């Protein structure tokens, strides 16, 4: 009788650099934007970033057992 390998779920974590454009919506008075807008952007929440996944550069992939932090495999791209 042939050995049947057990199927298991794994968690795969991929570290990568993703080119993205982040847009902020800021309400300012006229003439106030020159200095204060950068300070306001640091504190305000961002809208959803526009991702350009075709330019993504993968750095490292790590495979874990599902629900644990036991590393099964690491691959560097």
Domain boundary assignment for the chain: 1-18+56-77, 21-48
The whole-angstrom separation of Cα 75 and Cα 16 is 12
**Taking the mean position of all CA atoms in its chain, how far away is CA 22?**
13
Token pair for residue 16? Answer: 């990568």
Model confidence pLDDT, tens digit, residues 15-56: 888 888 877 776 666 666 666 677 766 766 667 788 888 888
Half-sphere exposure of 41 (CA within 13 A, CB side): 11
Which pTM was predicted?
0.54
């Amino acid at each position: 009788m042939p050995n049947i390998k057990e199927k298991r779920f794994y968690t795969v974590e991929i570290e990568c650099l993703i080119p993205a454009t982040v847009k902020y919506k800021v309400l300012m008075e006229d003439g106030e934007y020159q200095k204060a807008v950068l300070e306001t952007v640091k504190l305000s929440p961002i809208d959803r970033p526009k991702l350009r996944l075709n330019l993504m550069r993968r750095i490292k992939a790590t495979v874990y057992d599902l629900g644990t932090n036991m590393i099964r495999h690491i691959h560097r791209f």
